Amino acid sequence: MKKVIQHRPRIEGAIATPGDKSTSHRAALLNSIAEGTAHVSNFCVGDDRASMLRVLRGLGVRITRHNACPVSGADECFKVEGRGLDGLVEPTNVLSAGNSGTTTRLVSGLLAGQSFMSVLTGDGSLRRRPMSRVVKPLTQMGAKIMGRSKDTLLPLAIRGGDLKGINYTVPMASAQVKSCVLIAGLYAQGTTTVTEPTLSRDHTERMLRYMGANLKSSGLSHSISRSKLIAKDIAVPGDTSSAAFWLVAGAVHPNARITLRNIGINPTRTGVIKVLESMGARIRMQNVRESGPETVADIVVETSELHGTEIRGEIIPHVIDELPVLSLAAALAKGKTVIADAEELRVKESDRINATAVGLNALGARVEEQGDGMVIYGGAKLKGAAVKSYGDHRIAMTMGIAGVIATGRTTIDGAEAASVSYPLFWDTLQSLTMGGLQ
């Protein structure tokens, strides 16, 4: 699908983003193996939601979607009937994670703890993404895993059970790998300890503690032992990564004011806000409050004068998904921005370093691609052009925001990719700009 975007003179409005994908996935998975029933409201939308729910249902979990939930009070809610730690059943078919890397890696840890055999696969893009980073620790714990390319690519055949606790140092900061090992550790004999080089997103640790897991953290190390989980109702915060597109739009557009409602402000997720504030963005938080294991707030962003910065080192794991749209902010800021230590972008849904550089350069920016990042020379005057999403939702949405800023018409090929995480993105853009989309 092609989407035509035209420059709009004003961006204004108050919106809610989809539910946070990281929190949604963990709420569904952990409640599936908990004791009791939970209601998960504001569940993330898009293809990734369908992938996680499909896999869990394939393992025998009863998950019911209903409207006007009498328990949560939400317009839409998912009732998850927990089967307990050892209540999952052997799937009768291959489990497909679609395009969802989060589903694949978290579920791999879950499957490693089961005493049956299962096969996990995904779409063409996911089957090219590296899985050795979860296969290695799970194999060390005792799971038997076979896959393509010397057990490093999907499909993966997993026969689990009889796991033993290990001490594992994650070679890169990765919330997905850390979470995979901690989830497997729920089933292992003894204690499983995961140590990461820098702090990555901690949604799994927060939710495990919230549901009663025997989990202890000390600095960058997290230790877990076999634990019974108690089902908990979860009101999922608005997705910070989805909010990033509107934060950038509000900051870089010359005439903008956007209010974002009920956004998760977990400290491991607010890297995009910290980077934008370091660049001079006018952002303020209102109505800060607790929601289950997470903290939420309303966020207001207004037209700002941005300047270049450096994005590297310890901040990278906290902004890895937001780097494409932050690159757009950098292209419109004054001065030079350097993004480094972000080679992980090469193995996302697309090669996001290349896709971002090609797209922004086509629109008139000056972006130099590096092996682990980009050098972006600010002050660009963007002009409409034909660009591609490369089948990547974050690239599609970044180009959409760029199209509203650029003069003339911007045509995005593969705009439907946005539906992976944000099916209403184009409708929301239309509402904030009062038109300008075809």
What confidence category does residue 348 fall into, taking pLDDT thresholds of 50, 70 and 90?
confident
* 11 and 31, same domain (yes or no): no
Is 91 a member of any domain? yes
Rounded-to-integer distance, Cα 39 and Cα 28, Å: 9
* 112 and 64, same domain (yes or no): yes
Least Cα distance to 249 among 4, 3, 7 occurs for: 7
* 193 and 212, same domain (yes or no): yes
Average pLDDT over residues 135-142: 98
366-417 residue pLDDT tens: 999 999 999 999 999 999 999 999 999 999 999 999 999 999 999 999 999 9
Q: Where are the strands (E) in 214-325, listed by range?
A: 215-218, 221-225, 234-235, 256-264, 282-291, 294-302, 310-311
What confidence category does residue 435 fall into, taking pLDDT thresholds of 50, 70 and 90?
low
Confidence at residue 353, expressed as pLDDT on a 0 to 100 scale: 96
Confidence at residue 47, expressed as pLDDT on a 0 to 100 scale: 83
* 221 and 111, same domain (yes or no): yes
Phi, psi dihedral angles at 42 (to 5 degrees): 55, 40
Least Cα distance to 414 among 359, 332, 363 occurs for: 359
Average pLDDT over residues 123-131: 92
> Using CA atoms in the order 151, 154, 158, 164, what is the torsion angle rounded to 10 degrees?
60
Confidence at residue 281, expressed as pLDDT on a 0 to 100 scale: 98
- Within 10 Å of residue 66's Cβ, how many Cβ atoms? 14
Average pLDDT over residues 78-105: 96
Confidence at residue 214, expressed as pLDDT on a 0 to 100 scale: 97
Confidence at residue 215, expressed as pLDDT on a 0 to 100 scale: 98
* 353 and 291, same domain (yes or no): yes
* 207 and 263, same domain (yes or no): no
Q: Does residue 155 have a cis bond before it (omega within 30 degrees)?
A: yes
Classify residue 306 by its DSSP letter.
-
Is 112 a member of any domain? yes
Is 438 a member of any domain? no
Is 207 a member of any domain? yes
Average pLDDT over residues 87-108: 96
Q: Which of 235, 254, 273 lies at the terminal end of a domain, its last residue?
A: 235
* 261 and 231, same domain (yes or no): no
Where does residue 212 fall: left (phi above 0), alpha (psi -120 to 50 degrees), or beta otherwise?
Answer: left
The residue ranking higher by pLDDT, 361 or 421, is 361
Q: What pTM value is reported for the model?
A: 0.88
Confidence at residue 71, expressed as pLDDT on a 0 to 100 scale: 82
Confidence at residue 345, expressed as pLDDT on a 0 to 100 scale: 92
* 332 and 192, same domain (yes or no): no
Q: Which of 208, 235, 262 lies at the terminal end of a domain, its last residue?
A: 235
Confidence at residue 72, expressed as pLDDT on a 0 to 100 scale: 83
Of 321, 392, 413, 427, the catalytic one is 321
* 199 and 210, same domain (yes or no): yes
Q: How many domains does the chain have?
A: 2
**Residue 372: active-site member:** no
**Residue 104 clears pLDDT 80, i.e. is over it:** yes
Is 195 a member of any domain? yes
CB 376 within 8 A of CB 365: yes
119 beta partners = 157
The residue written with tokens 């969802």 in the block is 100
62-76, 236-250, 268-282: which range is least confident on average?
62-76
Is 354 a member of any domain? yes
Confidence at residue 70, expressed as pLDDT on a 0 to 100 scale: 83
- Per-state percent for the chain, helix, strand, coil, to nearest 5: 35, 30, 35
3-state helix/strand/coil string of 335-392 = CEEEECCCHHHHHCCCCHHHHHHHHHHHCCCEEEEECCEEEEECCCCCECCEEECCCC
75-90 residue pLDDT tens: 899 999 999 999 999 9
Close Cβ partners of 149 (under 8 Å, ≥ 6 residues apart): none
* 278 and 204, same domain (yes or no): no
170-188 residue pLDDT tens: 998 899 999 999 999 999 9
Q: Which of 207, 235, 263 lies at the terminal end of a domain, its last residue?
A: 235
54-74 residue pLDDT tens: 999 999 999 999 898 888 888
Is 247 a member of any domain? yes
**Residue 264 clears pLDDT 80, i.e. is over it:** yes
- Quick one: how far is CA 325 from the chain centroid? 14
Confidence at residue 341, expressed as pLDDT on a 0 to 100 scale: 96
pLDDT mean across residues, the chain: 95
Domain with residue 76: its CATH number is: 3.65.10.10
CB 226 within 8 A of CB 213: no
Confidence at residue 327, expressed as pLDDT on a 0 to 100 scale: 98
Classify residue 127 by its DSSP letter.
G
Confidence at residue 363, expressed as pLDDT on a 0 to 100 scale: 98
Phi, psi dihedral angles at 46 (to 5 degrees): 100, -175
Confidence at residue 370, expressed as pLDDT on a 0 to 100 scale: 96
Please give the single-letter amino acid code of residue 244.
A
412 beta partners = 3, 387
* 29 and 11, same domain (yes or no): no
Domain of 142 in residue numbering reads as 21-235
Close Cβ partners of 425 (under 8 Å, ≥ 6 residues apart): 242, 245, 397, 400, 418, 419
pLDDT above 70 covers a percentage of the chain that reads: 99
* 285 and 375, same domain (yes or no): yes
The residue written with tokens 């075809």 in the block is 438
Phi, psi dihedral angles at 362 (to 5 degrees): -65, -30
- Within 10 Å of residue 235's Cβ, how many Cβ atoms? 20
CB 80 within 8 A of CB 40: yes
313 by Cβ neighbours in 10 Å (0-12 / 13-18 / 19+) ranks as exposed
